[in-house]
Amino acid sequence: MMHAIEDLIQLALKEDIGPGDITTDNLVAPDTRGRGRIVAKQDLVAAGLQVAEKVFRALEPQIVFKALYADGDRIPAFRTVVKIEGTLGTLLRGERTALNFLQRMSGIATQTRTFVEEVAGTSVKLVDTRKTTPGWRTLEKYAVRTGGAHNHRMGLYDGVLVKDNHIAVSGGIVNAVEKVRQKISHLIKVEVEAATFEDVKAALAAGADVIMLDNMDLDQIRQAVLLIGKRALVEVSGNVTREILKELAQTGVDLISIGALTHSAVAVDLSMKIETC
* pLDDT, tens only, 84-99: 999 999 999 999 999 9
* CATH number of the domain encompassing residue 245: 3.20.20.70
Return the amino acid letter for 21: D
Does residue 2 have a pLDDT over 80?
A: no
Q: Are residues 185 and 101 in the same domain?
A: no
Closest by CA to 103, choosing from 42, 169, 165, 173, is 42
Tell me the percentage of the chain whose pLDDT exceeds 90: 98
Show the domain range for 200: 150-257
Q: Are strands 270-276 and 210-214 parallel, antiparallel or unpaired?
A: unpaired
Cα–Cα distance between 238 and 252 in angstroms, integer? 17
Report yes or no on 128 lying in a domain. no
Q: Are strands 210-214 and 125-127 parallel, antiparallel or unpaired?
A: unpaired
pLDDT tens-digit readout, 228-244: 999 999 999 998 999 99
Does residue 10 have a pLDDT over 70?
A: yes
**Widest CA span of the chain, in angstroms?**
72
Residues 6+ apart with CB under 8 A from 207: 177, 181, 190
Does residue 1 have a pLDDT over 80?
A: no
Q: Are residues 164 and 92 in the same domain?
A: no
Closest by CA to 78, choosing from 273, 210, 266, is 273
Q: Are residues 155 and 251 in the same domain?
A: yes
Query: Which pLDDT score, from 0 to 100, does residue 136 have?
Result: 97
Report yes or no on 139 lying in a domain. no
Please answer whether residues 216 and 234 qualify as being in contact, where contact means their C-beta atoms are separated by less than 8 angstroms. no
Q: Are residues 246 and 272 in the same domain?
A: no
Q: Are residues 158 and 72 in the same domain?
A: no
Q: Are strands 255-257 and 125-127 parallel, antiparallel or unpaired?
A: parallel
Question: Which letter does DSSP use for residue 277 in this model?
Answer: -
Please answer whether residues 104 and 97 qualify as being in contact, where contact means their C-beta atoms are separated by less than 8 angstroms. no
How much is the average pLDDT of 58-75?
98
Closest by CA to 166, choosing from 190, 150, 142, is 190
CA atoms lying within 13 Å on the CB side of residue 129: 18
pLDDT tens-digit readout, 178-201: 999 999 999 999 999 999 999 999
Closest by CA to 144, choosing from 97, 106, 99, is 106
Query: Which pLDDT score, from 0 to 100, does residue 239 have?
Result: 85
Report yes or no on 77 lying in a domain. yes
pTM, rounded to two decimals:
0.95
Q: Which residues are annotated as catalytic?
A: 96, 131, 163, 193, 214
Q: Are residues 19 and 67 in the same domain?
A: yes
Cα–Cα distance between 88 and 28 in angstroms, integer? 7
Q: Are residues 102 and 40 in the same domain?
A: yes
CA atoms lying within 13 Å on the CB side of residue 196: 5
Please answer whether residues 181 and 204 qualify as being in contact, where contact means their C-beta atoms are separated by less than 8 angstroms. no
How many residues are given for the chain? Answer: 277
